[in-house]
Structures are given as C-alpha cells and as structure tokens.
C-alpha cells in the first residue's frame, strides 16, 4: 500500500537527536497519525543524521522539504493536525534565517545546505537505515551488481584510481593505488577492513554514515573484496557507537537475506561476507597496523611499516584498510564514473570531504563540501559564523594531529596539501572553531592531554616526550614558564615528530607548533607578562576587591577557604594574592559586585 | 641473491636484499647505537620493536628519521647516521628516557653493565633538560629475581624472552602511554606467579629493572663468622664464563684460578658441583636403566620417557604447566641439592661439624638455583641443604671487592673429598651434556662393555631441539634434547598427546643450557660468547683423565662408605625428591 | 592496579566458559570475549581475567596487558548510575572541564572512582558525537545536553 502514502515524516535518529528524545518524537508522531487515522497516508521514517545537529531534533516533511527544528515530543500533535491534515506549515518550528530573521520553509534554501554537495552523505537523512529496500530504491547495490557482472577486478581498480579518490581517514593515500597493491599481493586469503574506529575528539562523520546509511559501507566493502580478491570483510568499530553497531548488524542480516552478502552474490559466483570487530577505546587503533593488532586480540600497538597491511596485514595476510567515508564514496564513483567524481574538487584533491563542524560556531553539525572550498565559506556561510557574535580566533582541523589555523588561513582552499603547508592537516574531518575566549596555550595543552592519554607507550619519544610537552605547557599556563621552556617546547616538538614510530606521535606536536607559530604573542604574554588574555588560565587570574563597591560585609572573608581575605567590618577588604587559590568563592559570595578578576 | 647498493655516511656499500640499515652500516664499520634492539642470531631471537628510537638515521628524501634496526635497505638509499639532525634527535630521545629513569646510577646493581648508562656516556649527555613526573612502581623481590620497574625503559626484550623464547608468559606490557611498563598480570609479585626464575629476562634487561637477588653480603658475613664452617661448590658452567668478567676472552677456562680465588675469599673447603654431577648420573642413570628394563619387560605402570631434573627453572615450569605428568621426570635431585644433602650429612659427620654451623654455598650460572635452595623439601628442620647460591656475576664482584688480582692467581685444585670429578660431570654445563654423561655410564652398565669412544657427537650442538638414537648393543635408545623452555614445551606437548618417540629427554631451561644461564656474565647480545663457552666445556671434558661418572673414585667411595647402592634406601632419602602440582598456585593479590 | 577481591561462583565460571566457547576459545577473539564478559559482570576483576586466560589458553599477563591497554575495559565496578562526561574537543571548548569539576566537587570523587555507596561513578569519555548539544553528560543511558556547572546539582537530584 505504499502507493497511498502521500507524505513522509523523516525523524532524525542520529545519536545527537536521540539524546534529545527524537525516539519519543517518532512515537508521538506515529501515535497522532493513528489517532487521526492517517497511518496509510503518511509514514514516519527514522533516518540517519541530517547534519544540522545544532538545531536538533529535526523532523523533515517530504515531499515539500519542510524542515522543522528543535522539535519536542509535544509538537507532534500540531505537526500532524496542521501540516499533515491541513497542509499548513507550523511556522514556529521552522528554521529562522539568522540574517533576515525570516522562517525558511524549504531546507534547500538554508545557508547550511546551500554550499554542500552530498556524495558520502547522500542517503543520510533520506532513508530509513534499517530498511534495505529504501537503500535499494536509491540505486543501492547497483554498483556492486555492475562491478560483478560487467567488470574485471582490474577495471574496478582503474575506475577508483582514475577518480583520484584519496583516503578520507587522515593520510590521504590514493585509494585505487592501495587496492592495486593489495590485489597484487599473492596470498590464498585476503581481507577487506573498514576502519570505523573514529577517535578524533569532536569528529562524528563515520558514525553518522554508519547510522544513516550502513549499506553503502557493506556494498563498497564487497566491491573492494572483488577488486582485491578477498572474500572476507571486517568492520572495526568503536564499542561506544551502540546505534551504529545495531544498524550495521541489521544491515548485514538484510544484505545476507537478499543475497548481497554471503556465497554466490547475485548469482555471480563471488563470495564475500562481513563480520564486526569491536574497538575498546584506544585512539591509536585508528592507525592501521595498531587496528590490525587489536583485531587479532592484542594490545593495539602499531608496528613499523613496511611491511604494509596491503602486503602483510590481518593474521599475516594482505589486508586493505579504508575508512568509512572512503568506502561511502565508492558506489557513487562506480555508478557515475570516475570522470564525474574527478570533476568535483580541485586538481590535487578530488570529490568532497565530510567535516564535523563544532565548537563556538552557530551551526554545529555534519557537512559535506567539495574539496577546495575555503575555510571561510565553511565557517561563515555554512557554519553561520561565530556564536554569540564573538570574534573568530582559530579553527582546529585534523583533531589532535592537526593544527590551529587563523584568520590569515581563512581563504585557503581545503585540500590535503594546503592544510599540511599551513601547519595542520585534513585528518578525518573534525573542525573545531574557537573564539576570542579561547586561550591557545590551553588549547594546545588540551590536545596534548589527549595524546598523553592515548599514546600506546611503545616508542619513547611519544611515551615520554608528549608527557614532557604537556608538563611544560602546564607550567606555562600556571604562569611559571620561562623563555627557555618555549625553546624546549620547540625542540622537543620537532624531535617527537621526527622520531616517533607511528602517525600518532609524528603529528601529536602539531597543536603545539601551530599555536606557537600563529599565536606566539599569547605564549609570550603567558611567559613574560604572566597574563592569559583570554582569561582561561586560572593561575594567571587575580581576584581583587573593588574598593568603591566593598561595604565590608565580611561575606567573602568568612567563606574564603584559605583565609586570604582580610579587613575589618565595614572597612574595605583586601585579598592576599600569595595565598589566594583562585577558587572564586569570594566572587560567588559577594552581593555587591565588589570582586573583580583582572 | 639480489643485492642492493646504497650510501651510508658517504661510503658506498653493497648488501643482500633484506639487510637492515643497521646491519649494512655495521658491515662497513659504522656502529649505530641501539637500545631496545637485540639479536641473538644463532638462537633465532631478534627483538626489533623499533620502540626506543635511539638508532634513528636520516634518509634522504624521507620526511622523518628512520629506525636503522627495522628499516630494510633499498637501492640508492643515501643515509646519514650522524648528521646534526640525527645527533640532536638521538640525544633528545635518550634525555627523555633518562628523564623518566631514577638517578641512582652510583648505587644501582647494574652500574657498569647498564646499556642505558653506556649510551648516555657515548652520546655525551651531561644534562637532562626535560624534567617531570617519573613513573613509580612497587619494587618486587622474589627468591631469585628483583623487579625494579621504575628502571624499565620498555625495550620489551624481557617480554620476548619470557613469552616467545621461554613461553612462560609471566611478563607482558601493561597499561598505556606514559604508564606503560612490562610486568606480571595485576602487577603481582613474581613469587605469586608462574615465573620459573630462569633469569633470561635478567640476562637481556639493558638496565637495572631486572636483576638477581644479591646474596654476597650474607656470604661476606658468614665468611667472617668464626663459628661457621663455610664450604663452596661451583657449577661446571661457571669456570667457562667467569674469566670474561676479568677481561679474558670468552671461552677461557679458569677452573684453577677460580679455586684459588675462592680459597682467597676465605672458604674453608673449596669443592666442586661436578662431584655431585657424577653422583647425579649414578642415580639418574640407574633410574633410567631401571625404568627402561621394566618397560622392556612389559610393565605398563612405568612411564617413559624419563626427563632430566637438574634444572630448577625447568622443574618449576612443568610443576606449573604439566603437573599431570609429574611422575615422568627423574626423581633425582639436582647436582646442587645432592651436593648440599651429602655435605650436610656425610661431610659434616666427617669433619664433625653440626649442620647448622656448616654453611653450604653454591656458585651457579643461574638465578633459579637461588630459588631451588629455598624450596622446603630441601630443608631439614628448617635448615637448608644449600644455604644460598651466588651467581657467576656475583662471584666476580666478590673477587673484585676482595682486592684479588684474579689474572695473576695460581691454578689450584679443589679440595677432597667432594672436589673430585670426571669429564662427564663437566659437560653438565651445556645443552646435551647431562644426557651424554648419562649415556656414557648407562651404556657401560647396561651392556657390560667399555665404551671405545666416550664422545657422543650426535648429542652435541646448539640447535634448540635435537634428537639422536644411541645403539646400546642392539637396544636403540631414542634421545631427545631441548634447551629453552619454548622448545621443552614442544616435547612435553608431544608426550601429553602420547606421540613421543623418546626413551629419555634432557631439558635445560636456558638457551644453550647452563652456559647461557641467567646468572652468567652479560653477553650484551653477542651470541658468539655462548658458542665459546660451549667449546670450553667440551675442552675441559677432553682434558680430564676420567670421563665417566661411575669411574669417579670418590663417588665409588661415597657409596661404599655411606650411601650403599644407587636408588638404595639412603640414596632415595638423600638424593631424590618429589614434585608438586602448582597449577592452582597463582595468587591474585 | 587496584581491584576488588571477589570469589567467583561455579556458575560465574560456567558463564565465562560459555562466552569463550561461543568464540571457539580462540585467543584472537580476546577483545570480543572481554567485551561480552564485561557486559555480563559489569567489570573485569582479576579472577575473571584469570578464568578467561585459562579458557583461551593464553597467559593471564597478556589478558591483563590487553585489559589495561583499552580504556573501555575496567577492573573497578561502575556505580549504579555511571556518569560520563564527554571531553571531546567540542565539549571542551564549550566548558566540559568546568562541568567535570562540578561533578567532582558534588560527589567528592575523582575521575575513575565511585562514590562510597556505589551509587555514582565518574568517568570521562571521548566524543559521543552529540557535539550540537555540547557539553554533553551521560548518566547511564540518558544523555544530558548543554550542561552548565549550575545544572549539575539538578542532574544529580534525578537519581535521589
């Protein structure tokens, strides 16, 4: 009775919107439709992430593309009674354009979507990820069919090579070349591995694809298996992604039932099946050799390359490792051809890139833009600029391996090489925006804290060096840093990059080096003037009494945990800076605005 | 073989494909410093995790520095091993390692033998600019080995020895990042674990993180005590290695100088474990023949193969891992314990000293022997048969401490009666020796004939697993030999599966046998030293007039005067033992 | 690492045995086995690791090495209401640290600890991907978004 359905209500079922009770919205919508006897006319579909997480939970109405934002379960009734029955859009739930303050009824006209081109995310937010039929209806498994029936493995590899697709997980290694090397490695058993151990803090591209369009990954892995000569696929996924795991499991079962995985796929004699392997919380397992050791049940410590996994990988067999987003590009390339793909992007970077936009930005969310888009376009047009009208200060790309870029980098086109030249990197696509309130020394410290926590400990520069970097940064943020510390930071950073065993250590000093390069003044003010201009570093703050406002009520002195405030009743009080621990209690207790932070 | 041409420090070098930069450089006299790297070539042990990053070199056209130990040479490579970039990186890396290392070099047990110390010296490090938190762990003292993990630099050599070579599996890398370290499960004490105390971890540890328990101070006190009679026994492998500590070439035998030195140190009697080794052959050889003849007569109760039982690490290994087969090894005690048992009965009576006033000390190439002394079944009313054991390394230290100029010492003999020995006893010190000694005696006893040639070349060698068939006048005796516990495990699994073809098997825990023991002078990765010691042992055997244990006149006398006959009641009581099921003996603390 | 001393019951051992068997007692499946076992017992005390090592025929040191490598595995039982604060970058720049400090202050425990009554435990986790709601706190299955320090007390009140 699908013909009778006139309207689809798409409810975002991504992790972010789920956290804001989107499942209850879905239930309420279904309930309301039932109450009004509309079950056969309108259908509620839980989809993957729409990308516009800032305004979640999102409900989108098809066919008119109405985009409701920040919907609550209680809004279901109104949506059904007004929109579904009377055809009147619920104005108060529409997205308001921050520029002209007008409601935007059609998502196509939202600034957030206008500049995006969706290849990897093309199905996210459009289909029910738990229903293979919806994937099939959008050309799903057509690419696999095409490859199996019309192509040789070499043909498939050639298309991927010609498309210019490069790995989307960080390094940017040409995908077709990787496949070719694995194809040429002679062995009786080979593996296709999907790296879904997305670990950058502030990145959720892969999770959104797996939650919103799990079949695309399965299809691409099968294509890869055919191309390299493998019959087994493994998806290494973070155990912290329960929804993605659930949907992958459903997808694998459905694909097996439809003969799209398993033996004799589509009657072509090609066998390929996929199993899940769970990560257990180790960032370093994003590195492919570490990932392989983890899949083998060992500590996720990287090993020296060569041998590369393409030659000697999982259980010693040739293994092709690609990440989720890379795989998500494969079926469209096969379907539409390498030329179509190569026409998108720039000369050195083809296609699109998905970014997780977060931090002090208006439109937090998941976006996909052509390579070569500028940071300015991403941050100010798609991202809607800086939150609360503050001033843009920096954008961090590439997660803990990347660097902080500034105003002067805003117009460079986003590509693998341009970002590296600017002192950062593409990484897996995290993009964190910072404003004037962020202290860049503290930001560098934050990333080092992460690296110290996540270093596997195998090689000494990363194990000890990063710890020392963090300690020096800690000293600086405490106001005890010296100029000598700054030169130590520099030398140590270069040596760690130069000598570490794997990509983690080879890039971990980037946040330090890039902030030193771009925000040298901030380091100097911490070290020389003992000031944190952003007001973040607690130790560099001073709590002082404003004599004009102090009435001598003694509330601050009574509550000070270290008794550093002196003064008689009805006299102006005084804070002894040597004893003050900057806990802020006095500020909290003063009712007369007589305490200030300088 | 395909060859590759490359340039290292402006010198052209041609090497075989698969050669590492480290090996290629060595070939042209460039010694790139290493720390975690370990290559015991002949034993097929190579550790190159590429973890320490000390051996990094600059490779033209490469973004970052490459570890020389793990990078294969490629055609046309241009390598710089001491450019300013390399020197700075190497120095910084070592400074970092030092910044997380205790600064107690002056009083560290490893001082002078520490590879990290030498490296810091070599690199001219005079300051440690990067100071910060140091990792601290609980110090763990077991009966034989001390773990001071604060000094662990994560080279992972011990982990390789414990897991891959010995398959004991006590040590593993634990934790992550700055807190990563090598330790037993749950950081439990070694004496709560399945550790065999083989000491191979101690042998390869580059720093003072793993060392043996020091008994030298106890010995110095006992020697100074006028109330005590202190006697010493020295194991065969010691004389083949002790000289190395005094600058002598590896493989130099120092039997006579060692006897002099021990006398200089103040021991009242200087005896030889070889005496007890001959005694072991009398018991173990007889047991072999006994079990063999019963087996041949169709007795299904009798189990074969018989396994040697001289090695305490090996004994503990099977008590933990194969307790269901604890009736297979020979019940004969080890030479060390036979010596102690006879010393504190027969000899104590002879000189009229109470066993509590008689201190029996052993000099062993081993650290497991320290543990063996402490086993309860080798005590009488709490008094141990052997009071404590001193390693070869500790003895060298004692000699130096006593201001003895070892090299100018005269060659002296051992004292009587427990100093007499045969060549058969000497070869106990190397893999294959115990079984060869047993064969020499068993053959003559079994066949009633005199051997024309006592050398059984087919039993010798340094292959990890060896086998030979010896013709006992028509009876074909299948013999297996394993050294290294990983190799032993293979033979034990065969026995467990009922697939063993052997009548007798010799097992030694350490690669090479006792010459490669955990208490021997450090070889710092030079496995040719093991070969030299191996040769020296057979040279000593060859130089002996008596080469069969049953021909040792003092042994014959011992049976006549005291023990009666091999496997007799007294012998059983004093020279044999029993084994324990230690499968459940893991404490989780 | 500190661990709670427990005595395993026969049925616990049988349960572990069952899990190991479902992975063919394959040492390569160690991580999958540990995931399952931790789901069953809530944590991985030493005794449990010992049984797992036995069943998979591998050294308990190796099992411990793996358990201590991955942050997902824990040897300390979690509170009845495990509190996890996302310290991903997005949450960090939006003030996760201050929220964490407030939880520490309110509960008087450090990260990785449980309250003495076993009610709450406090942990940090990496990005949960709800960056639009930053800073994010999870209590059990429930996710709280846009948490500020002054909301901490209210969150805790839900569990009284």
pLDDT digits (tens, 9 = 90+) for A124-166: 988 999 999 999 999 999 999 999 999 999 999 999 999 999 9
- Is A352 within 8 Å of chain C by CB? no
pLDDT at C90: 77
**Domains of chain B, each with CATH number or no CATH:** 3-122 (3.10.20.740), 278-332+422-553 (3.40.950.10)
User: Among partner residues A301, A456, A499, which is closest to B93 by beta-carbon distance?
Assistant: A499
Query: Touching check for A203 and chain C: CB below 8 Å?
Result: yes
Quote the pLDDT of residue C6. 67
Q: Alpha-carbon distance B270 to A119, whole Å?
A: 86
Q: Diameter of chain B by CA atoms?
A: 80
Q: Would you tell me which residues 373-392 of chain A have a C-beta closer than 8 angstroms to some C-beta of chain B?
A: none
| Predicted pLDDT at B6 | 96
Alpha-carbon gap: B317 to the closest alpha carbon of chain A (Å): 25
SS3 B357: coil
Q: What is the distance in angstroms between the Cα of A424 and the nearest Cα belonging to chain B?
A: 16
Is residue C4 over pLDDT 60?
no
Query: What's the average model confidence in pLDDT over C35-63?
Result: 93
Instruction: Walk me through the domains of chain C, giving residue ranges and CATH numbers.
Output: 10-67 (no CATH), 81-157 (3.40.30.10)
For residue B264, the distance in angstroms to the closest alpha carbon of chain A comes to 46
pTM (2 d.p.): 0.92
The answer to whether residue B548 is catalytic is: no
Residue in B142, B193, B309, B330 annotated catalytic: B330
Nearest chain B residue to C73 by CA distance is: B175
Give A24-59 as a DSSP string: HHHHHHHHHHHHTT-TTTEEEEEES--S-GGG-S-E
- Which domains are delineated in chain A? 2-110 (3.40.30.10), 132-342 (3.40.50.11540), 352-435 (3.10.20.600), 440-529 (1.20.1440.230), 542-597 (3.30.70.20)
Is C59 in contact with B176 (Cβ distance < 8 A)? no
State how far the alpha carbon of B553 is from the alpha carbons of B284, B328, B436, B559, in Å: 18, 31, 20, 10
| Six token digits for residue C128 | 């949960």
Q: What is the DSSP string of B111-162?
A: TTT-HHHHHHHHTT---------------EE-SSEEE-GGG-----HHHIII
pLDDT in tens, C103-155: 999 999 998 888 888 889 998 887 776 777 888 898 887 888 889 999 999 99
Q: Where are the alpha helices (DSSP H) in A165-239?
A: 175-184, 205-212, 214-228
Nearest CA in chain B to C62: B172
CA distance B461 to B458: 8
CB B214 within 8 A of CB B109: yes
Contact C59 B172 (CB under 8 A): yes
Cα-based distances in Å from A241 to A15, B178, C70: 9, 27, 16
pLDDT < 50: residue spans in chain A: 1-2
Between CA B379 and CA B337 the distance in angstroms is 10
Torsional class of A563: left (φ above 0), alpha (ψ -120 to 50), beta (otherwise): left
- Please tell me the distance in Å from B99's CA to the nearest CA on chain A: 8
pLDDT digits (tens, 9 = 90+) for A437-470: 899 999 999 999 999 999 999 999 999 999 999 9
Cα(A203)–Cα(A302) distance, rounded to whole angstroms?
22
List per-residue pLDDT tens for chain B, 589 residues long.
789 999 999 999 999 999 999 999 999 999 999 999 998 776 677 888 999 999 999 999 999 999 999 999 999 999 999 999 999 999 999 999 999 999 999 999 999 999 999 999 999 999 999 999 999 999 999 999 999 999 999 999 999 999 999 999 999 999 999 999 999 999 999 999 999 999 999 999 999 999 999 999 999 999 999 999 999 999 999 999 999 999 999 999 999 999 999 999 999 999 999 999 999 999 999 999 999 999 889 888 888 899 999 999 999 999 999 999 988 999 999 999 999 999 999 999 999 999 999 999 999 999 999 999 999 999 999 999 999 999 999 999 999 999 999 999 999 999 999 999 999 999 999 999 999 999 999 999 999 999 999 999 999 999 999 999 999 989 999 999 999 999 999 999 999 999 999 999 999 999 999 999 999 999 988 889 999 999 999 999 999 999 999 999 999 999 999 999 999 999 999 999 999 998 865 555 5
Q: Say whether pLDDT at C3 is over 70.
A: no
Q: Which is the catalytic residue, given B48, B257, B316, B369?
A: B369
Which residue of chain C comes nearest to B168, CA vs CA? C59
Q: Does residue C23 belong to the interface with chain A, where contact is any CB pair within 8 Å? A: no
CA atoms within 13 A on the CB side of C127: 32
Q: Are B518 and B202 in contact (CB under 8 A)?
A: yes
Predicted complex ipTM exceeds 0.85: yes
| Active-site position among B159, B212, B319, B372 | B372
Q: Max alpha carbon distance in chain A (Å)?
A: 92
């Amino acid at each position: 009775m699908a013909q009778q359905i006139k309207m689809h209500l798409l409810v975002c079922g991504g992790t972010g919107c789920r956290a804001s009770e989107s499942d209850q919205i879905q239930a309420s919508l279904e309930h309301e439709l039932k109450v009004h006897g509309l079950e056969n006319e309108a259908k509620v579909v839980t989809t993957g992430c729409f990308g516009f997480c800032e305004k979640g939970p999102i409900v989108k109405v098809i066919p008119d593309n109405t985009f409701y934002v920040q919907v609550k379960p209680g809004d279901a009734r109104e949506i059904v009674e007004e929109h579904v029955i009377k055809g009147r859009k619920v104005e108060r739930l529409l997205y308001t354009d921050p520029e002209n303050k007008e409601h935007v009824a059609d998502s196509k006209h939202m600034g957030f979507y206008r500049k995006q081109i969706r290849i990897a995310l093309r199905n996210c937010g459009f289909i029910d990820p738990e229903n293979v039929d919806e994937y099939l209806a959008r050309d799903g498994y057509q690419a696999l069919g095409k490859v199996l029936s019309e192509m040789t493995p070499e043909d498939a590899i050639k298309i991927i090579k010609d498309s210019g697709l490069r790995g989307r997980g960080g390094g940017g290694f040409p995908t077709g070349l990787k496949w070719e090397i694995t194809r040429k490695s002679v062995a009786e058993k080979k593996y296709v591995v999907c790296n879904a151990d997305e670990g950058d803090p502030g990145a959720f591209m892969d999770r959104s694809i797996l939650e919103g369009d799990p079949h695309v990954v399965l299809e691409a892995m099968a294509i890869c298996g055919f191309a390299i000569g493998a019959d087994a696929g493994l998806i290494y996924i973070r155990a912290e992604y329960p929804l993605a795991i659930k949907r992958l499991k459903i997808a694998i079962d459905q694909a097996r039932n439809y003969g799209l995985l398993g033996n004799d796929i589509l009657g072509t004699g090609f066998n390929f099946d996929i199993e899940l392997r769970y990560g257990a919380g180790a960032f370093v397992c994003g590195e492919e050799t570490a990932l392989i050791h983890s899949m083998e049940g060992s500590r996720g410590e990287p090993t020296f390359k060569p041998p590369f996994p393409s030659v000697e990988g999982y259980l010693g067999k040739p293994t092709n490792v690609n990440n989720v987003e890379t795989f998500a590009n494969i079926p469209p390339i096969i379907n539409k051809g390498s030329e179509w793909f190569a026409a998108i992007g720039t000369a050195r970077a083809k296609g699109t890139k998905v970014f997780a936009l977060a931090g002090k930005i208006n439109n937090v969310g998941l976006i996909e833009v052509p390579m070569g888009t500028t940071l300015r376009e991403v941050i100010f047009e798609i991202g809607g600029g800086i939150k609360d009208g503050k001033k843009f200060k920096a954008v961090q790309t590439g997660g803990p391996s990347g660097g902080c870029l500034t105003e002067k980098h805003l117009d460079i086109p986003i590509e693998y090489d341009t970002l590296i030249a600017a002192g950062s990197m593409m990484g897996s696509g995290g993009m964190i925006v910072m404003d004037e309130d962020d202290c860049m020394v503290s930001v560098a410290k934050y990333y080092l804290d992460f690296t110290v926590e996540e270093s596997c400990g195998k090689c000494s520069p990363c194990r000890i060096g990063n710890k020392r970097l963090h300690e020096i940064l800690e000293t600086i943020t405490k106001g005890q840093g010296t100029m000598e510390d700054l030169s130590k930071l520099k030398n140590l950073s270069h040596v760690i990059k130069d000598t570490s065993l794997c990509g983690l250590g080879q890039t971990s000093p980037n946040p330090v080096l890039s902030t030193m390069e771009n925000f040298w003044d901030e380091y100097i003010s911490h070290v020389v003037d003992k000031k944190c201009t952003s007001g973040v570093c607690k130790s560099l703050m001073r709590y002082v009494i404003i004599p004009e406002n102090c009435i001598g009520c003694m509330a601050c002195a009574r509550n000070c945990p270290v008794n550093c405030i002196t003064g008689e009743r009805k006299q102006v009080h005084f804070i002894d800076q040597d004893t003050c621990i900057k806990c802020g209690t006095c500020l909290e207790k003063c009712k007369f605005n007589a305490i200030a932070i300088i | 073989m395909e060859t590759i041409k490359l340039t290292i420090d402006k010198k052209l070098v041609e090497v075989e494909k698969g050669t590492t930069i480290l090996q290629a450089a060595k070939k042209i006299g460039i010694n790139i410093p290493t720390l975690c790297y370990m290559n015991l070539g002949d034993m097929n042990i190579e550790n190159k995790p590429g973890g320490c990053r000390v051996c990094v070199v600059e490779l033209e056209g490469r973004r970052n520095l490459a570890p020389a130990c793990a990078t294969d040479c490629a055609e046309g490579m241009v390598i710089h091993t001491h450019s300013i970039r390399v020197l700075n990186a190497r120095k910084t890396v070592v400074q970092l390692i030092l910044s997380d290392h205790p600064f107690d070099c002056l009083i560290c047990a490893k001082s002078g033998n520490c590879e990290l110390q030498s490296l810091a010296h070599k690199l001219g490090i005079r300051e440690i600019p990067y100071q910060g938190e140091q990792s601290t762990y609980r110090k763990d003292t077991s009966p034989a080995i001390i773990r001071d993990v604060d000094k662990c630099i994560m080279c992972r050599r011990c982990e390789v020895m414990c897991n891959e070579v010995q398959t004991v599996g006590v040590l593993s890398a634990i934790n992550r990042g700055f807190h990563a370290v090598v330790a037993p499960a749950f950081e439990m004490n070694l004496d709560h674990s399945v550790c065999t105390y083989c000491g191979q971890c101690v042998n390869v540890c580059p720093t003072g993180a793993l060392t043996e328990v020091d008994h030298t101070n106890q010995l110095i006190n006992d020697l100074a005590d006028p109330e005590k009679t202190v006697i010493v026994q020295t194991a065969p492998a010691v004389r083949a290695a002790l000289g190395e500590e005094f600058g002598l070439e590896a493989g130099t035998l120092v039997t006579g100088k060692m006897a002099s030195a021990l006398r200089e140190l103040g021991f009242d009697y200087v005896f030889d474990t070889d005496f007890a080794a001959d005694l072991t052959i009398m018991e173990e050889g007889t047991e072999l023949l006994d079990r063999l003849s019963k087996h041949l007569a169709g007795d299904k109760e009798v189990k074969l193969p018989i396994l040697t039982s001289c090695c305490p690490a090996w004994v503990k290994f099977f008590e933990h891992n194969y307790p269901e087969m604890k009736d297979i090894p020979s019940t004969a005690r080890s030479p060390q314990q036979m010596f102690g048992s006879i010393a504190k009965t027969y000899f104590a009576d002879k000189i009229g000293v109470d066993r509590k006033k008689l201190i029996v000390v052993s000099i062993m190439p081993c650290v497991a022997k320290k543990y063996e002394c402490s086993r309860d079944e080798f005590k009488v009313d709490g008094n141990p048969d052997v009071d404590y054991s001193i390693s070869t390394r500790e003895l060298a230290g004692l000699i130096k401490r006593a201001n003895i100029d070892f090299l100018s010492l005269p060659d002296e003999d051992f004292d009587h009666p427990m100093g007499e020995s045969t060549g058969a006893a000497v070869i106990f010190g190397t893999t294959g020796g115990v079984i060869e000694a047993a064969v020499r005696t068993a053959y003559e006893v079994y066949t009633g004939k005199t051997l024309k040639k006592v050398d059984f070349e087919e039993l010798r060698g340094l292959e990890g697993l060896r086998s030979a068939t010896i013709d006992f006048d028509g009876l074909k005796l299948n013999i297996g030999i394993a050294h290294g516990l990983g190799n032993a495990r293979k033979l034990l699994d065969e026995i467990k599966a009922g697939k063993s073809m052997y009548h007798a098997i010799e097992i030694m825990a350490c690669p090479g046998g006792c010459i490669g023991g955990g208490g021997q002078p450090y070889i710092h990765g030079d496995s040719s030293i093991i070969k030299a010691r191996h040769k020296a042992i057979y040279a000593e055997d060859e130089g002996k007039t008596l080469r069969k244990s049953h021909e040792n006149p003092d042994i014959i006398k011992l049976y006549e005067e005291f023990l009666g006959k091999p496997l007799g009641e007294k012998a059983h009581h004093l020279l044999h033992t029993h084994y324990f099921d230690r499968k459940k003996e893991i404490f989780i603390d | 690492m500190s661990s709670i001393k427990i005595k395993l019951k026969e049925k616990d051992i049988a349960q572990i045995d069952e899990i190991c068997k479902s992975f063919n007692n394959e040492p390569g499946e160690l991580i999958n086995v540990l995931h399952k076992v931790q789901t069953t017992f809530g944590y991985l005390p030493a005794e449990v690791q010992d049984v797992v090592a036995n069943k998979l025929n591998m050294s308990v040191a190796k099992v411990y090495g793996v358990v201590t490598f991955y942050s997902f595995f824990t040897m300390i039982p979690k509170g009845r209401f495990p509190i996890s604060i996302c310290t991903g970058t997005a949450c960090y720049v939006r003030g996760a640290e201050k929220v964490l400090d407030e939880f520490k202050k309110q509960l008087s425990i450090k990260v990785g600890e449980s309250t003495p009554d076993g009610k709450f435990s406090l942990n940090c986790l990496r990005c949960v991907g709800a960056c639009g709601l930053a800073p994010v706190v999870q209590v059990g299955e429930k996710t709280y978004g846009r948490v500020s320090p002054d909301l901490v007390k209210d969150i805790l009140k839900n569990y009284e």
